[in-house]
Amino acid sequence: MRPLTDEETKIFFEKLTKYIGENVRLLVDRPDGAYCFRLHRDRVFYISEKLLKHAVSIDRDHLMSIGTCFGKFTKTRKFRLHITALDYLAPYAQYKIWLKPTAEQQFVYGNHIMKSGLGRISESTAKYQGVIVYNMADIPLGFGVAAKATSECRHAEPMAIVCFHQADVGEYIRAEDTLVG
């Protein structure tokens, strides 16, 4: 487990900024202690510095996971956010989409969001902006990328895609083998 390089940090924070904007600093500077991001086997973990000090004594080969996995770097060095980061990103989300109850199941199964399933969308959401997806009871279901801006969504056809699926809570079941290991 090691700190992220400058290039990795830049890529990682650009991805986080896409979803939570300037609130990224709130993840590191928390009132309950200092937190940091560490890389282990191409995965980025969010971990308290207190826990990090204890983890140093564990051999790298025997350490499978520590803290919360925020995502992984692909072989092409792009960063892919995992659903395990949702609980940390949702409170700081700047742009949100709320789903109608009829569209929740489709999204949790891994499908894109159609205009017919859109309950609400944050004002001034830009095209290709990272969004956190909620149900109408304000429970975070996942995240995606807005396929249309807020103004375009108002006049879109019912079967037009308004949000591209990135990750959802259904992945805990569909991809349980690959989320951590």
| CATH code at position 19 | 3.10.450.220
In a domain, 180, yes or no: no
Same domain, 68 and 100: no
| Structural domains of the chain, count | 2
Higher pLDDT, 148 or 64: 148
- Does residue 131 contact residue 43 with C-beta atoms inside 8 Å? no
What is this structure's pTM? 0.86
Where a domain ends, among 67, 88, 109? 88
Q: Tell me which residue range forms the domain holding 149.
A: 95-175
pLDDT category of residue 12 using cuts at 50, 70 and 90: very high
- What pLDDT is recorded for position 178? 65
Residue 88's beta-bridge partner residues? none
Where a domain ends, among 88, 112, 145? 88
List C-alpha distances in Å: 167 to 45, 49, 53, 174.
17, 28, 31, 11
Mean pLDDT of 99-113: 93
In a domain, 181, yes or no: no
Same domain, 99 and 170: yes
Q: Both tokens of residue 124?
A: 């001034």
Same domain, 15 and 83: yes
In a domain, 160, yes or no: yes
Same domain, 164 and 144: yes
Same domain, 20 and 69: yes
Same domain, 108 and 69: no
